[in-house]
Amino acid sequence: MSDNDTIAGVEATTISRREAVRRVGALLGGITFVGGSSLIAACQKERTAVPAGAAVGEFTPDDIALLDEIADTILPETKTPGAKAAKTGAFMALMVTDTYDPKDQKIFRDGMRTLDDASKKANNNASFMTATPAQRLALLETLDREQKAQADAKDAAAKQTKSKADDAKTTEGKKADKFLPDQRKEAAAAADVNPAPAITADTPTHYFRMMKELTLLGYFTSEIGMTKAQRYIESPGRFDPCVPYTPGETAWAGHA
C-alpha cells in the first residue's frame, strides 16, 4: 500500500473503505460524513498519484499546501509522522472535488478563506501559513468549539422538529421550544470566529467539521496512518480471536 493509496493508484475493496469510514466516523462521535457513500466510491477509483505541486480540480498548489498545514495541526508529528507527511492535503482536495456536491464544495472552499481571514484577524495580520504553531492550534481549537456547538444546536433543532411533528401541543413540545434558543445562545457564545445566524436542522455542515472529517479519513487510510499510527498485518493472515493487550498499545488497522 502506498501513501494515501486512496489517491495513489492502488485499488481498495468497498468493504475495507466502508470500514475505514465507519471507524473514523466513530472517532468523530458516530456522525455521517459529508459526501456519504460517494466517499467510498471515490476511494475505490484507480488513480495515479498526485504529483507534488500539482493542482487538484479547483484547488491550486497553494490551496493544497494550506490544507496540509491545517491537517498537520490537527494531527501533528509525534512519535509517528503527521498528516502532512501522509499527503493529506491532496487527499482532502480530491475528496471534495470527487464526492461533495457543489453546495458543499463552496462551503469548504469559502471556509478555507474564512479560516485564513480569521488567522489574520487573531494574529496581527499573519495568515495561517505564516502563523506560529501555537497560533494555528489556538485558532483551530476555537473553530472546533464553534463547529461542535453548531452540530449540537442542529441536533437539538432536529429533535425539536421531530417532537413537534409527533405532538406540537404536548408539554414536551413546549419544553423543546424553550430549549432551542438556549442552544442557539450557546453556539453564538462559542462562535468567536465568524458568528453564524440562528441554527436549524437544515443548517449546512460547518466547514471545519468537513476539514476535520477528511483529515482523519485521509490520514488513517494512508500507508503512514495504517502502518505507523496503527499496527497492520497484510491479509490473508492468521485469525486470533483473543490476543494479549498491553495498555497504551496502538489499535490494529483494518485489512486493506
Q: Please give the average per-residue pLDDT across 85-105, as a whole number.
A: 91
- What is the average pLDDT value for the chain, to the nearest integer? 76
Q: What is the pLDDT of residues 225-250, one digit of tens each?
A: 888 887 777 766 677 777 787 888 88
Give the position of cell 492502488.
10
Give the position of cell 507527511.
85
Q: What is the pLDDT of residue 12?
A: 38
Q: What is the pLDDT of residues 115-158, one digit of tens each?
A: 999 999 999 999 999 999 999 999 999 999 999 999 888 888 87
DSSP 3-state assignment of 56? strand
Yes or no: say if 7 and 90 are a contact pair by the CB < 8 Å rule: yes
Question: What b/e readout covers 7-45, taking b as 16+ CB neighbours within 10 angstroms?
Answer: bbebebeeebbebbbebbbeeeeeeebbbeeebbebbee
Cell numbers that stand for 60 in this block: 491550486
Q: Please give the average per-residue pLDDT across 82-93, as a whole number.
A: 93
Q: Please give the average per-residue pLDDT across 99-107, as a whole number.
A: 91
